[in-house]
Amino acid sequence: MKEPAPAAQPWIPTLEEVAALAGVSSSTASRVINGSPRVTEQTIARVNAAIAKVGYVPNRAARNLASRRTQTVAMMIPERTAEFFADPYFAEVIQGAAMYASSTEYSLTLLIESEKDPEKTHQFLRRGNVDGALILSHHSASSSYRELARTLPVVFGVRPPGEVGDEIHIVDVDNHAAAALGTQHLVDRGRTRIATITGPLDTFAGHERRRGWSETLAAAGLEPAGDEEGDFTPASGAAAAQRLIAADAPFDAIFIASAQMAYGAMPVLKESGLDVPADVAVATMDNNVFSTGTTPQLTTVDLHTAAKGAAMMATVVRLIKGEHIGTQTLVPMDLVERASTAI
């Protein structure tokens, strides 16, 4: 019995066939496909017409191998996993970065640093698995990635400790100015005994937000009415509010350095017989579900966190392409007034 003939393989057009149809060399056709400026408009038009006619699809994998590019950017999270999944800040930044990445040739991959073996993650990044990295952390742990920035395009979402050299690129909000904006709003509402619940003071954001509160009070000729530290979580906000009340120092307003902490503090104030805003006005930072999930809803400084993620991705793409850019990009912010500071 005669065996059936093997099925014919589909025809796949090659670069050489595109070049022949366009009347150019294979190297010239390759330059057109890779976007080289060293070809004329007429040549580009001929090659593109040939590509369209034969249905040629460039082999991106081969191109990436030749150029040692992966077309991938890592979003690196040096945080404990539980804290990462509980904090909407991270989700919003990642969403912004992913949306921007979708408009480029780059893909975004998420890496959460190993708590037991951080060096494992560092080695993965150094071995050419990605073209660039975004470092997103509340804490100074991100400083361990400073050396990586000497060999790989890296963008930090918070200023790492120490001097910032040309290899360090930061995309962040002006935390000092944001805290000053929220505190000044309380001053403008006639509050004169303004306390604060800070973020962790071993973080750049926590330190700068406390400084913004303190310097705004000094400029208004007001004395601080209380100063307690939290860690950006609701539980820490509740505990700090309890300490403020136990200190028995009168306050008529609180600037709270994150909406999560404010969310935790609000029930404590209510249980202590303090009405918001009649007795205590509350202003915070981060415009997310925590700032709208209280009664009354919270006046907040909107840090446009998704825009920060997009700006981080845009910056690392420019660095990968070899562009020379400034070391710091500031994301705009604005105040969203709600009932927690109503007169």
Domains in the chain: boundaries: 15-58, 72-173+306-332, 175-302
User: Taking the CB of residue 320, how many other CB atoms lie within 10 A of it?
Assistant: 18
Does the fold of domain 175-302 match that of domain 72-173+306-332? Answer: yes
Q: Into which CATH architecture does domain 175-302 fall? A: 3-Layer(aba) Sandwich (3.40)
pLDDT of residue 163: 56
Q: Which of 83, 78, 89, 79 is nearest to 236 (CA)?
A: 83
Q: Give the CA-trace dihedral at 62, 63, 67, 69, to 10 degrees.
A: -90
Average pLDDT, the chain: 87
Assign 3-state DSSP to the chain and report helix, strand, coil percentages, each to 5.
45, 15, 40
Are 44 and 77 within 8 A, CB to CB? no
Cβ–Cβ under 8 Å, residues 144 and 128:
no
Per-residue model confidence (pLDDT) at position 67 = 52
CATH topology of domain 72-173+306-332: Rossmann fold (3.40.50)
Peptide bond into 160 cis (omega under 30): no
- 234's tokens: 């609701």
- Is residue 287 within 8 Å of residue 303, measured between CB atoms? yes
- 250-279: per-residue pLDDT in tens? 999 999 999 999 999 999 999 999 999 999
Q: What angle do CA 136, 330, 324 make, to 5 degrees?
A: 85
Q: Which residues of the chain have pLDDT under 70?
A: 1-11, 35, 58-68, 79-82, 114-115, 138-144, 160-167
Enter the pTM of the model.
Answer: 0.77
The pLDDT assigned to 201 comes to 92
pLDDT at 27: 84
Reading phi first (left if > 0) and then psi (alpha if -120 to 50, else beta), residue 97 is in alpha
Query: 15-58: what CATH class?
Result: mainly alpha
